[in-house]
Structure formats: C-alpha cells, structure tokens
Structure 1
Amino acid sequence: MDKDGTLDISFDEWRDYLLFHPSANLHDIILYWRHATNLDVGEDLSVPDDFSLEEWLSGKWWRHLVAGGFAGMVSRTCTAPLDRLKVFLQVHGAKQFQGLANCFKYMLKEGGVKSLWRGNGINVVKIAPESALKFAAYEQAKRVVLQFGGSRERELTIYERFVAGSFAGGFSQTVIYPMEVLKTRLALRKTGQYTSIGDAAKKIYRQEGLRSFYRGYVPNLLGIIPYAGIDLAIYETLKKAYIDHHSEVANPSIFVITACGAFSSSCGQLASYPLALVRTKLQAQVLTPGVVQTHPVTMSGLFRHILATEGPVGLYRGITPNFMKVAPAVSISYVVYEKCRQALGVSMT
C-alpha cells in the first residue's frame, strides 16, 4: 500500500490500493475471464465469451471474437503434428510403435511431411461455427435465466453465469461433435483412404450410420468440466500470487501470462486426460454392421479394459506430446491474439 516508501499512507495510496488490488471474489474472477478465446491450446474449453455493455455498444465484441478465432487457427496449425502424434498414441498405444520417435517415423514414412497435418483442416474449420454457436447459445441462455429471475435489468449472479455457460458449452459441443469425430478419423487415415472431408463423412455414414458421428460424446462432455474448471482456477491463482509478490508491477508480462496459462492448461489436461483418451478411442472405432467387436464399445467398458490390460498408466497414453504442445500453443495463441487485437483497435476489459 505504501508505494512511495515513506511509511505514511496517504489518501491516494489507500484509495488506489482498494481500487486496483486483485479480487478474491469468484464473481470478479469470472468477469476477468470474459474472453475465453484469449488462450487456445486446441482443447475444448467450455467458457463462452462474455461482453460488457460498453463492448456491445462500441462493437468491440466481434473484434474480440475475430482475434480469438484467428489466434486459435494459427496456434492449432502450428502444433498439429504433435496433436496427430497424440491421437495415434491414444488409439494404438505406445507398445505398437515403441515410443514417440518410432510413431513419428511411421507417420513420415506412411505419408510424408504433409501427412503430419492430417485432420488439421477440419480442426481449424470448426473453430468459427463452434465459437458462434457457443456465443449465441450463451446470450440466449442469459436472457432465459434473467426472465425466470424476475428482472431483465440486473447483472447475472455467478451461479446463473455458470448455468448459462454450461448450457452454451454443451449445446455447441452437441452440434459440432460430428466434426470432432471426423477430425479423429482424418488424423488416423492412411494415404488414399479419403479424398476430402466430404468423402470421409459420406463413407463413415454409409458404412456405420449416423450414430457413429456421436461416438465418445459422453466422455467428451464429462471431460470439459474438470478441464475448464481446473484450468481457469489455477490460472487465476497463479496470476494473483505473482501480482501479490510483485506489487510494483501493474500488469504481468507476456512471459508470466504465458507461463501461468501453460501450467494451468497442463493441470486441467492431467485431470481430464483419461476421459479424452476414451473419447478418442471410441471415435476411432469402426463399427461395421454384423461384425463382432474385439474391444468394448462403451465408455465404462473401455475404462475397465484399459485398466485390466495396461493398468492406470494406460489411461495416460499419448500425454507426452500433449504436454509438449501446451507451451508453444499457449505462446502462439497469446501473441497472435494480441497482434490481432491491436490491429483491430480493441483493448481488453
């Protein structure tokens, strides 16, 4: 509080301390996380963008969405080879390839350098509709919540924002989920198996039916809850701790924010990874009518099968490339977001 070191607290110092000191209030933390697209690591973060009245009136809201979407596209494209490596290890296991290096060599040998980006096209394409659906659903959910709450003029409580945000995340994931399944199938495809995204969708529909596009849907939704919750909580805790220990710094540097984002994202993924692994295995399973499956085709059945054959370690197959991509993904996403934001002439609230 004593900024000038005189051991005397002036009114201005007392006032500024109360105005600018980081809040421990959960509602304030959620308000800080108005823009979830700030850091994109290619995972399903179910926190919709929320905009202040000033941003609505000034038109800044669409600029935030554009900057976040572009940052996500660049970040996911740059880390796509690590993402494909993760999917391969999740589905086939480390034993088949005897480690990361052999899996990487196999992908290069099978399809060349270009094959490292298989599945990235649809991963990038789905960012725009997913963000738009989540945003629209969140705004609609807020209106419904306010209507049932009796007054449309008041601010939503933290619990009401949680309900609206959960609905928006679940709705956007439900609509967009077939593209998630296509992304996994395209990442695992062999050379010549599919000629395009449309060709892949047609072949999967003809051979396996519509239900195949929602395989792994339940573990996907369940995995969002621990990932988003732990990620946001740890990020805010680390940033607050840094500011408390460096009171002379008004705003943390890019390096500090990137480090906090990378660590919090890693913790969130650690908690939700078993569900993500089961989801990917279910997405990858080809269900041919009349053919008896050799592996379980349900979430609980897969969990039991993995634990029985590989133990708890098996639930974390492929997590190494997943961790490897966190730091570059967060860094690239943050830098591109900032540059786009500045180019569009919009500042963070």
Structure 2
Amino acid sequence: MGSSQGSTISTNVVGIVDGSSTQKKVPYIDSLPVYVKELIAGGAAGGFAKTAVAPLERTKILLQSRTEGFQSLGLLKCLRKLYKHEGFFGFYKGNGASVLRIVPYAALHFMTYEQYRCWILNNYAGVGTGPIIDLLAGSAAGGTAVLCTYPLDLARTKLAYQVKGSAVSVGPGVSSINGKPAYSGIRDVLTSVYREGGIRGLYRGVGPTITGILPYAGLKFYIYEELKTHVPEEHQKSIVMRLSCGALAGLFGQTFTYPLDVVRRQMQVESLQPAFEGRTRYKNSWDGLTTIVRNQGWKQLFAGLSINYIKIVPSVAIGFTAYDMMKSWLRIPPRQKSVSTS
C-alpha cells in the first residue's frame, strides 16, 4: 500500500515536471495564458472601481454638460436634487453602460499595457527600464482601449445626461429630454446614433478623448510605478500603500487633462441640446476649448473638477489596488524588469 502511494506521488511529480497528461490536479487558473489572466484582472478591477464611484460620475457628467437645473449646483445639492427626481437608482443611471464599457476597457488597458511594456523592453533597450517605459506603454494602452470601446462611452454619457425631471411631454405616452426622444437603454442609444450619423456618429468626440487619454493614461501608470519605487520593500504589498500611490497617480494625471474631458462630454451630448440642432458646435478639440472659454468662461473647462478629484482618488486607487490583488490571486508572474535574455 505504501508502495502504491509512493508511485502515485512520483507520477504526479513527473507530471508536473514534464507537463504530461498524468498530472490531473493542475488548477484551471494556472492553465490560462498570461494575457488572458491580465484581461480578467483588468476587467474585474475596472468594473469594481467604476461601480464604487458611480454616483459621483453621474453628478460630474451633469455638471460638465451643463444640464438644465444643474449648472450652478455644488456637489451635495446636485446629489440631493438627483435623488429627489430619480431616487437612489438615479445615482446609477447609465452605470450599466459604464460598467459594460469599463470592463472591456480596463481589461484591454491593463493587458495591452503589460504587452506594450514587454515589447518596448525587448525591442528598444535604449529607452531604459525605468518608469519612462510605463509612461510610453500606458499611453499606447490607453489609446488602444479607447478606440475599441468608445461607442459604449458615448452611450453611457447620453444615458447619464438624461434627467427625468427635465422631461417634457410631447404626446400620449411619449416624452422627450430637452426636446429630444429619451433613450431607453444602451442598444437604443447605439442604434439611434448609428442611424443618424453612421460610424462617425458613434465616434463623435473621440478626438479630444484620444488627445486626453494618451497623456493621462501614460502619466497615471508612470506616477504609480514611480511612487512604488520609493516604497520600502517590506511595504510593497501593503493595500494602504497601493491605494495611496493610485490616488496620487489619478490626481495628478487627471488635473493636466481635465479640460479635454469637458470638451469630450459636451461634444457627446450636443445632439441632445436643441439650441445646437442642425449644426456642429465644435469642429475639433482646439475649437471646443476656445469656444468654451469664449462663450462659457475658462472656469467651465474645470466644471466638476472638484467632484472629479473626489471621484478619481478612490476610482484610480481602487482600480490599481484591485488589479494588483487580482494579479496575485490569478498567480500572474512578476512584471518584467529588464530586457529578456531569451
């Protein structure tokens, strides 16, 4: 009997070493390719972080897009008015589209960041191995993720822009938001926008989005990884450390690129504003920036920034922390630090 047990143990050990079919106990997680694990970790982190700050995200969009009745309200008053009009679930209006977008977005963002990072290290050794790699890889990953998921961001913004209290009846059983038909869901938004403007309509506002995400995503990864290098080795896995580094990374990165986010939001919802029906308000990102400053004042470029600070601190902090923890849970190998010797 002892001999039989020893034989079984030996067989299992051999199976582990040579990868033969005799090993039956390899966990399913360990059999997944690394890039699949990175997709899972990034998607889970993004969805968790986005849902945690959904009420602040909804409020920020209402302030950015100058929704009727919300232009001059502060954070608390805006939240109270939103709750009065739509109840608790009003805080999460558009969050379904937001999560539907952020899961593939975050999955692609984190996974492509890791892949771009390895590619740069292996092909451009002259760039070095410091945080500058994170800046370049993060920027490229941000652009890739945006291009793949932008229509869902457009749908999320249009849904979040609608406020029940501003609906006007235009007939039996029919309502409108500022003179425009209300969207019933993500699919309705996408089909309606595509019917009106085709593929170009689905990517309305992508210009300032790309312009803003390249420096923002790069700075976010750069600052996060740079801050971690100054943390003592014994505290590298501390949740508090990860949350702090992530919060500062989001804070600095968002400050530099926020005006472009305002332009993007206003371009996305312009078709819902009858005052601009029939003509394009902004030709491009620069035209949007100058027009807003001329007609609405330079302060409008930072409308909702205080809320964004409150939102971005937990959002980026939770996102980075959740991603690092998911990587540990999925047993993803440590990040490559230098050029591969293979």
Quote how far apart the aligned CAs of 1:128 are.
4.3
1:206 maps to 2:195 = yes
CA distance in 2, matches of 1:166, 1:264: 14
Amino acid at match of 1:170: G
Which residue is equivalent to 1:88? 62
* Superposition pairs of residues 217-256 of structure 1, within 5 angstroms: 217-243=206-232, 249=234, 251=236, 253-256=238-241
CA distance in 2, matches of 1:278, 1:226: 16
Which residue is equivalent to 2:315? 329
The CA deviation string for residues 312-339 of structure 1, in whole angstroms up to 9 with x for no partner, is 3221111111111223224433554455
Quote how far apart the aligned CAs of 1:155 are.
1.9
Quote how far apart the aligned CAs of 1:342 are.
4.7
Alpha carbons of structure 1 residues 255 and 106: separation in structure 2 relative to 1, 3 Å? same
**TM-score, with normalisation over the residues of structure 2?**
0.68
Structure 2, unaligned runs of 5 or more: 1-28, 165-174, 176-181, 336-342
Amino acid at match of 1:224: I
Q: Which has the larger radius of gyration?
A: 2
**How many matched pairs?**
282
1:70 maps to 2:44 = yes
Picking from 164, 175, 178, the partner of 2:148 is: 175
Amino acid at match of 1:270: T
Amino acid at match of 2:297: G
Matched-pair identity in %: 33
Amino acid at match of 1:185: K
Higher relative contact order (CA 8 A, sep 6+): 1
CA distance in 2, matches of 1:213, 1:252: 41
Which residue is equivalent to 2:160? 187
Quote how far apart the aligned CAs of 1:123 are.
1.8
Quote how far apart the aligned CAs of 1:230 are.
2.3
CA RMSD of aligned residues (A): 3.7
Alpha carbons of structure 1 residues 141 and 238: separation in structure 2 relative to 1, 3 Å? closer
1:270 maps to 2:255 = yes
Structure 1, unaligned runs of 5 or more: 1-54, 147-153
CA distance in 1, matches of 2:296, 2:306: 17
CA distance in 1, matches of 2:332, 2:136: 29
Quote how far apart the aligned CAs of 1:300 are.
2.6
Amino acid at match of 2:160: A
**TM-score, with normalisation over the residues of structure 1?**
0.67
Quote how far apart the aligned CAs of 1:169 are.
4.2
CA distance in 1, matches of 2:207, 2:200: 13
Which residue is equivalent to 1:155? 122
CA distance in 2, matches of 1:236, 1:136: 16
Quote how far apart the aligned CAs of 1:278 are.
0.5
Contact between 2:251 and 2:309, CA under 8 Å: does it hold in 1? Answer: yes
